[in-house]
Amino acid sequence: MAYLFVGEGREYLLEPGETLESDLGILEVPEGVAAGETVETHLGTEFVARELRGPDLFHHFERTGAPMMPRDIGLVMGHTGVKQGDHVLDAGTGTGVLAASLGRAGAEVLSYEQDPEFAEVARENMELGSVADAVEVRAGDVTEEIDELTGSAFDLVTLDTADAPTVVARAPELLAPGGFLAVYSPFVEATSEVVETAREAGLEEVESLETIQREMDVGDRGTRPSTAGVGHTGYLTFARNPV
């Protein structure tokens, strides 16, 4: 299990037994290292071993595309109330930060990624995120396997794919009673299509949310929202299986 080694304002992701050489000296990570322990380089610089936490995954996962932002992952979790033991169907995996985050909250996740190489990277990311047991990354197209998945009574179906509407149309067959659908789509037109498809499929509590998040600057002259601005990520559409 890899740890973050943090010291002198730097942060390195290292496995037990690994050796890192830098201008701060040679850092040999002991085999039995544990979170919270301090390791010194041969020049005496101290690094503290830290477990990777959720937002660290966002920074240290190998990326195969733009990963979903922590805020959007959180909104999916908050609006659907995902919990330990939930069964989740996820497509497409991408970098895998959403799947990993759901797995870390105790869900069992089946995640589809069309690109086999991306799927392989995502699997390695699940190892790094300590959720290889909780998250199965399947290389393939979820729309082609829906017939086998119906009746699985998923508690949550999360979609971040161009052909989300195809899956949304089948959501009532995929979801448990009261189960949630969550679809991420960057564009308005795709969002509208998801909403209309969800309504036609008989899903309830269909709502599409836009979230604008800004940092507040607290300084000597006073407090104000950041002048830097924070841009759009995507719309999140939620819906629920009535029965």
The residues in 26-55 that bind a second copy, with binding defined as CB under 8 A, are 35-36, 48-51, 53-55
Residues 58-117 that bind a second copy (CB under 8 A): 70-84, 101, 104-106
13 has which bridge partners? 4
What is the smallest separation between the CB atom of 233 and a second copy, expressed in angstroms? 7
The answer to the question of residue 21 lying near a second copy (CB under 8 A) is no
The answer to the question of residue 6 lying near a second copy (CB under 8 A) is yes
**CB 87 within 8 Å of CB 155:** yes
The answer to the question of residue 243 lying near a second copy (CB under 8 A) is yes
Burial class for 231, CB neighbours closer than 10 Å (0-12, 13-18, 19+): exposed
Strand order through the sheet with 175-185: 135-139, 108-113, 87-91, 154-159, 175-185, 235-240
What is the smallest separation between the CB atom of 171 and a second copy, expressed in angstroms? 15
Window contacting a second copy (CB under 8 A); options: 16-24, 108-116, 140-148, 230-238: 230-238
Residues 173-212 that bind a second copy (CB under 8 A): 176-180, 186-192, 195-196, 207-212
The answer to the question of residue 214 lying near a second copy (CB under 8 A) is yes
**CB 88 within 8 Å of CB 107:** yes
The answer to the question of residue 158 lying near a second copy (CB under 8 A) is no
The answer to the question of residue 151 lying near a second copy (CB under 8 A) is no
**CB 174 within 8 Å of CB 157:** yes
Type of residue found at 202: G
